[in-house]
Amino acid sequence: MNAADALALPPGLNRVLRGHAAVLSVNAGSSSLKFGVYAEHGPAVWSGEFQGLEPGGQPRLCVGGHDALPLPPRDSLGRFELALTLLVETLGRAGIRLKGVAHRIVHGGQRFVEPCLLDEPTLAALAELNPLAPLHQPHNLAGVRSLQKALPDLPQVGCFDTAFHAGMPAVEHRLPIDRSLWDQGVQRYGFHGLSYQFVMRELQRRTPRAAGRVLMAHLGNGASLCAALNGASVATTMGFSALDGLMMGTRSGSVDPGVLLHLWRQGQTVDEVETLLYKRSGLKGVSGLSADMRTLRASEAPAAREAIELFTYRLLREAGALLAVLGGVDVIAFTGGIGEHDAQLREDLLTRLTWLGTRPDAAANHDARGDRVAPIHAAGSPVEVWVVPTDEGRVAARATFALLRQQGLA
């Protein structure tokens, strides 16, 4: 099978969408473009990801459960434009009636706490936040501009990863530094908000305990924890940037600022330290092998085991801090690539939290594979534990439908 065949929409898609409008939800990164087509209710009716879009990368497509397939070259197009052109052409051939495009945007700053239409003044204001998320925000906004050109008649809607945490207590937002920096936007924001919004909604549909104290763990190449009360975020591990908190795939998580001062005094540049923290740390940095937990699990190298042990320990340590904020816990939920698929990590963490009352069901934990929402606690467990496959695109699409109706554009 080639990429063109894989990109072909499922035969039943038109039937699913017949008489209904759809929203295209996208997440544009530095090397990838994730996409999904959503009706107003339910999961994506079609989704996939273009990978290898970075300079020098090998553009390829993952869709419909197929292995990554190389994209056919087009001399006149760059990698991102090629992916976008193929996507738009496919939707056009299928006659999908799109009402808008939903964009996941990492940083909304202090101003953008609700989904909004992305006009020129808004994009200019969001671009001012680029220094706060230098490896994410510029690519998110570049994706918006590319979609504006490709689909000029469609409303473009921004949905912000920081928004779910905007209502946290002021003491959680504040940083213990010079007060004047607050006015410059130097505060704790929190991220993975679209994912946490989805997980919380799924939990609330399934258990009354979700109205209480909930600890959510989004564990993947990016990783964070969120503490929620009554469905609202009250604390999270990521802060001013997506570097803070947990150890991640290639990101460091929390590091003593004195280490950075030490590196600068040694002569390293800001760019070199930024590369260290974002790309040469975490699982990859500690193991020296890979940022992929699956690769490390399969390795017998001592450094791989050390990286996994440190990842698990940092997760336990940060979880303890948020559990103290909550004053206990009623529900724990795992999501993200590692959280949904790594049964051993879930077991190792929950075993160390038995003092809380966690009683995992070993068989249910082993069988939970991230393809459905699944409880993994034993009957009568004082703390419920769930695996919830996340769907950030669905949250963004749902918000886009609502905003378009509100604006009279639906």
Which positions are catalytic? 161
Closest CA to 123 of 136, 140, 135, 102: 140
149 is in an annotated binding site: no
- Amino acid present at 40: E
65-94 residues labelled b (16+ CB within 10 A) or e (exposed)? eeebbebeeeeeeebbebbbebbbebbeeb
Task: Give, for 228, the enclosing helix (H) or strand (E).
Answer: strand 223-229
Confirm if 389 and 372 have CB atoms less than 8 A apart: yes
Closest CA to 325 of 214, 202, 235, 253: 235
292 is in an annotated binding site: yes
100 is in an annotated binding site: no
Cα dist. 251→95, 119, 243, 296 in Å?
41, 32, 6, 16
220 is in an annotated binding site: yes
219 is in an annotated binding site: yes
338 is in an annotated binding site: yes
Q: What CA–CA distance (Å, rounded) separates 290 from 350?
A: 25
What is the distance in angstroms between the CA of the first residue and the CA of the last residue of the chain? 37
202 is in an annotated binding site: no
34 is in an annotated binding site: yes
Q: What CA–CA distance (Å, rounded) separates 56 from 37?
A: 29
Q: What CA–CA distance (Å, rounded) separates 53 from 73?
A: 12
Confirm if 50 and 36 have CB atoms less than 8 A apart: no
Q: What CA–CA distance (Å, rounded) separates 32 from 60?
A: 9
Confirm if 345 and 358 have CB atoms less than 8 A apart: no
Question: How far does CA 201 lie from the centroid of its chain?
Answer: 16
Task: Give, for 226, the enclosing helix (H) or strand (E).
Answer: strand 223-229
104 is in an annotated binding site: yes
337 is in an annotated binding site: yes
Parallel, antiparallel, or unpaired for β 156-160 and 116-117? antiparallel
Known binding-site positions for substrate: 104
Known binding-site positions: 27, 34, 104, 218-222, 292-294, 337-341, 392
Known binding-site positions for Mg(2+): 27, 392
Known binding-site positions for ATP: 34, 218-222, 292-294, 337-341
